Structure 1
Amino acid sequence: MTLPTGVERHDFDGETGLATRGPPVYGEATDGEWRRWDPHRSKLGAMLELGMDTGLVGGETALYLGAAAGTTVSHVADFAGPTYAVEFAPRPVRDLLSAAEERDRLFPLLKDARRPETYAHVVEPVDVVVQDVATRGQARVAALNRQFLGEDGRLLAAIKARSEDVTAAPEDVFEGVLDELREDYAVLSTEPLAPYHEDHLGVVARPR
């Protein structure tokens, strides 16, 4: 799989890993200006490490849902174009703001991904929506934010089984979420994110 422009493999303490060029955010290893993109800390990083065809080429305009403290979205902003980072909880947004101070393409938004009408006036049409929200109704969040994607856009989602139902088998949860997701998206590929993230499913989709 070809990595997006701006994502490379570098050697970190004898181990080769993905890296982007930018200031460190979460204590990750560095190699000069490059910092390791730890797939154990990032679902999107795991998708790339596992060889999923995300369609990312570098330079995309991105909307990141569930940005938390900025671990993954900071890597995205390192190689993408304007990157809108939506996070609902005030505490991690403070760390997200710190990550954005050194990244002029990263725009934090203290908003709820389940209410895109509250940030629709700010977010321009994007090439990719990265969904990393830990909430019930993950397919619904993807449907609500479909409005920001062009016809050739991509949804890159990490479906968390335990966020939907802690009692059901993850495989059953994934199938239910995918069935709902297919009402608004054509699912292009899926991949379990183990061993990096248990009970998570990586999904690449495009809007219908």
Structure 2
Amino acid sequence: MTLPSGVAYREFDGEERLATRGEPVYGEPTAEGWRAWDARRSKLGAMYERGMDPGLQDGDRVLYLGAANGTTASHVADVARVVYAVEFAARPMRDLVDVAATRDSLVPFLKDARKPASYGHVVEADLDVVVQDVATRGQARVACANRRFLADDGRLAAVIKARSEDTVRDPEAVFEDALDDLRTEYRVLETKRLDPFHADHLAVVAEPR
């Protein structure tokens, strides 16, 4: 895996940790312009820690679905040229707007990722990466609905949260069904569980069909 130049492992208090260059957001350790990227607070960060390549490169144009309060989106914005950050809930959106005030590349939208037509007139097409971190049923279908924004050579970096789909069903069965849905629009390149950082989460890297 080759990391973008804006992502690296740096030393914080004697420990090598994943980091990006940028202003701190959530009280994370900083050193010489780098800020630690806490994988326990970020599924995308956990993907890097698990050795996956989500496809993010310097200067990319990114659609981030399920941006919440902007913890991970802020790290992506340290690397990307523009991050269209979609969040449905009003409370975390207030935090996301505050984070966006410190990063010109981060553009927040109070929208429902299940309804891409509601932001399709603003978000450009042929994006380099779609990051999906929504907590709802039908997560794979959300990724498929937002395929319209992704370039043919782009990448999907998605996280399937088993307990958001079904609180009692076996996670492996949930993951298999989600992958079947994803394969209607994507070729799955890599999958990994995100333990020990996030229980019952499956990370997926895919490319458009």
Give the TM-score of the pair, scaled to structure 1: 0.98
Which position in structure 1 is the counterpart of 2:47?
47
Give the secondary structure class of the aligned counterpart of 2:69: coil
Which position in structure 2 is the counterpart of 1:164?
165
- Structure 1 runs of 4+ aligned residues shifted over 6 Å read none
Cα displacement (A) at 1:56 = 2.2
Which position in structure 2 is the counterpart of 1:96?
96
* One-letter identity of the residue aligned with 2:26: Y
Output one character per residue of 1:46-88: Cα deviation in whole Å (capped at 9) or x when no partner: 0011111222222110000000000000000001111100000
Identity %: 66
Cα displacement (A) at 1:4 = 1.5
Which position in structure 1 is the counterpart of 2:153?
152
For 1:187 and 1:173, the matched residues in 2 are separated by 16
Give the secondary structure class of the aligned counterpart of 1:67: coil
For 1:27-106, list aligned pairs within 5 A.
Answer: 27-106=27-106
For 2:62 and 2:72, the matched residues in 1 are separated by 12
Give the secondary structure class of the aligned counterpart of 1:103: coil
Output one character per residue of 1:138-179: Cα deviation in whole Å (capped at 9) or x when no partner: 011001100000100110001100000111111111001001
Which sections of structure 2, spanning at least 5 residues, go unmatched?
none
For 1:102 and 1:172, the matched residues in 2 are separated by 41
Output one character per residue of 1:26-55: Cα deviation in whole Å (capped at 9) or x when no partner: 111111311100001000000011111222
Which position in structure 2 is the counterpart of 1:26?
26
Contact 2:55 2:129 in 1 (8 A): no
Which position in structure 1 is the counterpart of 2:181?
180
Which position in structure 1 is the counterpart of 2:133?
132
What is the root-mean-square deviation in Å for CA atoms of aligned residues? 0.8
Give the secondary structure class of the aligned counterpart of 1:145: helix
Provide the aligned length of Structure 1 versus Structure 2: 208
For 1:132 and 1:58, the matched residues in 2 are separated by 21
Give the TM-score of the pair, scaled to structure 2: 0.98
Give the secondary structure class of the aligned counterpart of 1:174: helix
